[in-house]
A and B are shown apart, each in its own frame.
Chain A
């Protein structure tokens, strides 16, 4: 079945560092791919998405490109801020109504 694998955390960075969180997927067909973010004490919220191969999703300085050849959707940001500290979830939307989520990667950014 469909699945998502994302890098284990936690990830700790200093402010203004470059961020990469790896995400790979297994799916039949042509899924949509998502990154959700969960700030402390809150529910998840959509950060960005891409619906077809080679699409780049972007929001709040974060980017991810849908790479079909490597079945990947890695999240990147050039310069992280303390306010980016959160848990990041990669997710896949396949043929069913359900989204399949990765286990989440906790990011802590220190000043």
Chain B
């Protein structure tokens, strides 16, 4: 079975540009999480969905960030406009709920560099 698939693996863009990161969760998983990883702040949960519905977006840093899950097999994380401080590795993870007792399956990440 395919794991969590993220694209692009690497993105280099200039400040002010729009960035869209994509995620395909494992089939049958109905919880999806977006994380951001930086050296300074470690792993931060940005938002998570259950059954395509955003449940907790308290980790989304500001209005420049938005996430959608239009169906069970696809999610996007959008940054508009991007800033250099958004440079990080963004991970998508999926699981069968409840995540608190189960196993999160992570994608390989999207490394974003904003110049």
What is the interface of chain A, defined by CB distance below 8 A to chain B? 31-32, 36, 41-46, 49, 51, 89, 93-99, 101-104
Which residues of B line the A interface, CB within 8 A? 4, 31, 33, 42-43, 45, 48, 50, 55-56, 91, 93, 97-109
The answer for the CA separation of A104 and B42 in the assembled complex, in Å, is: 7
A-side interface mostly: loop
Interface centre among A41, A51, A95, A102 (most CB of B within 10 A): A41
A42 near B104 with CB under 8 A, answer no
Bound-state CA distance A43–B26 (Å) is 14
**In the complex, A44 Cα to B42 Cα: how many Å?**
13
**Would A89 and B98 count as touching, CB distance under 8 A?**
no
Q: Which partner residue on chain A sits nearest B92 by CB separation?
A: A43
Residue pair A97, B101 in contact (C-beta under 8 Å): no
Q: A44 touches which one: B55, B98, B99, B104 (CB < 8 A)?
A: B104
